[in-house]
Structure 1
Amino acid sequence: MVNQTLIFHFTEVGKISKHFIDCGVTVRNENVANFQLWDAVDYNHRLHPERLLSINELSEKVLKLEDLEVEVEYQGQTIEKFGLEFDGVNFLLTNKQTDCLAKEKCRIPQKKSKVQLSELRGNEESCTPGTGCC
């Protein structure tokens, strides 16, 4: 999880298709592979790795999962959605954010980076006092 806790109960895998119109009036289609995880204290019904692998292999064939982005559902205050990353050892749930997909059409200004004046460096071609270029 994002908060470093380990969760373990895999309950389903699916393919979610989303066909929608964004705020810029663009029709979009998105498909994700969806895993649902459940936090339970029932240690006797955890899936063994071989079983999870067989479910994943079957879902790839039956659901035609292709090479899709993976989204993970997990129960929090409500059903929460997370991204999925791998750090070389563990799979990590990552935060997902809502976003405007049509920023230009909606005239959403881009964030400007703030720079400290002390961090600005002139290049050698800049005019400096005493050089007679100004």
Structure 2
Amino acid sequence: MKTQELFNTLQAHQDKSLLFEYLPNAFVGANYHITEVKHVKIDSVDCGAGTDAWNETIIQLWESPKEIGKREYMTVFKALAILNKVGRMKPFDMDAEVKFEYSNATFNTAQLFVNDFEIRDNNLIVKLAIEKTDCKAKELCGIPEEKEVVTSDASCCSPSSGCC
């Protein structure tokens, strides 16, 4: 999700509570705070000597140990106010990919991308997902692309089926 898409989604649902699902049915606690917003410029060289550059917006979520047991989540309105204040101080690249940085006692620190969002009851649920590392120069490095394995009905392709 691009930063502009996040802002559009937040603006459309300001009356809702803002929840983050970092694994299926696992949510950042209601005691979370937005503790940092990073405007990151990536300037990279991959293993095949290919160069690339892009921007990312990384929003850090932190669960306050002083507020464990809190039941009310931050409102979308409040989160948007925080992000708007950040944008006045350091303007966002609205075309940058947005990620959320998060960890807890059982989930290692990760930068999670927005996979989807859902409106449930009076909540805007931002569904986060992990993006695995990958080789960007597979062809040059001699790494075959993974092919999808298609299974077929055994009766059709068994040696005695007559279809082969």
**Structure 1 length normalisation: TM-score?**
0.73
- Report the Cα offset of residue 26 of structure 1: 0.9
Per-residue deviation, residues 24-49 of structure 1 (Å, max 9, x unmatched): 101111211100001224338x7554
Higher strand content, 1 or 2: 2
Partner of 1:56: 83
Partner of 2:27: 6
Comparing 93-102 and 48-57, the one that deviates more: 48-57
Question: Aligned equivalents of 1:92 and 1:40: distance in 2?
Answer: 21
Q: How does 1:110-125 map to 2 (within 5 A)?
A: 110-116=145-151, 118=153
Comparing 57-66 and 102-111, the one that deviates more: 57-66
The structure, 1 or 2, with the larger RCO (C-alpha pairs under 8 Å, 6+ apart) is: 2
Question: Aligned equivalents of 2:96 and 2:154: distance in 1?
Answer: 42
Q: Is the 8 A contact 2:34 2:60 kept in 1?
A: yes
Q: How does 1:97-108 map to 2 (within 5 A)?
A: 97-108=132-143
Summarize the Cα distance change of 1:117–1:73 in structure 2 as closer, same or farther, 3 Å threshold: closer
Partner of 1:36: 60
- Report the Cα offset of residue 14 of structure 1: 1.7
Question: Aligned equivalents of 1:91 and 1:2: distance in 2?
Answer: 11
Is the partner of 2:26 in helix, strand or coil?
coil
Length, aligned pairs only: 123
Amino-acid identity (%): 25
- Listed as ranges, the gaps of 5+ residues in structure 1 are 122-127, 130-134
Question: Aligned equivalents of 1:117 and 1:4: distance in 2?
Answer: 33
Question: Aligned equivalents of 2:155 and 2:56: distance in 1?
Answer: 44
Partner of 2:129: 94
Question: Aligned equivalents of 1:115 and 1:49: distance in 2?
Answer: 43
- Listed as ranges, the gaps of 5+ residues in structure 2 are 1-21, 120-124, 157-161
Is the partner of 1:114 in helix, strand or coil?
coil
Give the superposed CA RMSD.
Answer: 2.9
Rg comparison, structure with higher value: 1
Is the partner of 1:104 in helix, strand or coil?
helix
Partner of 2:115: 85
Q: Is the 8 A contact 1:59 1:65 kept in 2?
A: no
Question: Aligned equivalents of 1:65 and 1:100: distance in 2?
Answer: 26
